[in-house]
Structure 1
């Protein structure tokens, strides 16, 4: 792929991300994105044949940004607890900044969980791999003892998702499995507390 094509794709994803995050998937059209880019619709469709494929690419773009931000932090920090807590903060900030983007994926999951699992499965694996790296760092520093890095990372992620659902159900104010903007901080506090409890249980 040529550098020019790479730059065009990056520009499309950045512009589409801003529009999806601000207006939501349903209220955004490919024509509007093409207009924002000063592209013809034909050129936009050349790169992404439909709105769903563009949405999936934007999700990957956003998650890659999140993973890269945490990886940059890991180059400076050697504390497994600080690394995991920073990861939680970045995850929550990313969801808040791209609220409509993630809210749409949550609503799609409710409608068709099997299809969304296929589409978003690779993103889950990317985040899980990062958790594996963080846990591995903790093991190498003798901060924690882990029996099965991949399984433990997966359990951590499932626990975080369950924490979000549990908070929403307890509040009884939200019929969707996605927080309102006001609920993010409450969920983050509980996720951090849970992570600290889990880490203490892993210390040698």
Structure 2
């Protein structure tokens, strides 16, 4: 893809992200995004045929940025627990900063789970792989002992993801996506789980 096309696409994603994050998917139109960009609607539709495809691309862009922050941190990892906590906090910060963006993803998942998984499933695998890397570094450093790293990383990820469902099931929030007030409660429980989980792997 030509460099100027990459630049234009990146600019569209950045502007659309701000719109979606501030106003939400439903209250954002392609015409408004084109106006923010000083693009014609025809040019915007050249890159993204509809709002749904643009929304999906923005989601992928935001998640990629989140995972890149973790990648950068993993080059300076000091302890396993600090690295896991960094991943948890980075994920939560991303959700907070893009609340309206991620909230809409819950309704999309209910409408078309297979399509959402096709788009976002690879990110789950990348996140699991990052936890694998953290555990392997911990093994090399003598912090943890684990002969089933892949399975342990997946168990940890499932457990952390389950905290959201656990909090919402207690009637704190009747929606699929946490309210802003739920984030601190979920984050606290995720950190506690990570501490207990890693303590079980220590020599």
Q: Could you say which TM-score interval applies, normalised by the shorter chain?
A: over 0.9
CA RMSD of aligned residues (A): 1.3
The CA distance in 2 between the partners of 1:161 and 1:114, in whole Å, is 19
Q: What is the TM-score when the length of structure 2 is the normalising length?
A: 0.95
The CA distance in 2 between the partners of 1:60 and 1:148, in whole Å, is 30
Unaligned runs of 5+ in 2: none
1:33-72 aligned at under 5 Å gives the runs 33-72=33-72
For 1:183, the equivalent position in structure 2 comes to 182
For 1:76, the equivalent position in structure 2 comes to 76
For 2:193, the equivalent position in structure 1 comes to 194
The CA distance in 2 between the partners of 1:101 and 1:185, in whole Å, is 19
For 2:99, the equivalent position in structure 1 comes to 99
Q: What is the TM-score when the length of structure 1 is the normalising length?
A: 0.94
The CA distance in 1 between the partners of 2:4 and 2:148, in whole Å, is 43
SS of alignment partner, residue 202 of structure 1 = coil
Unaligned runs of 5+ in 1: none
For 2:136, the equivalent position in structure 1 comes to 136
How far the C-alpha of 1:181 sits from its partner, in A, is 0.4
**What do residues 36-56 of structure 1 show as CA deviations (whole Å, max 9, x unaligned)?**
111111111111111111111
Aligned residue-pair number: 203
Check whether the contact 1:78–1:137 (CA below 8 A) recurs between aligned residues: no
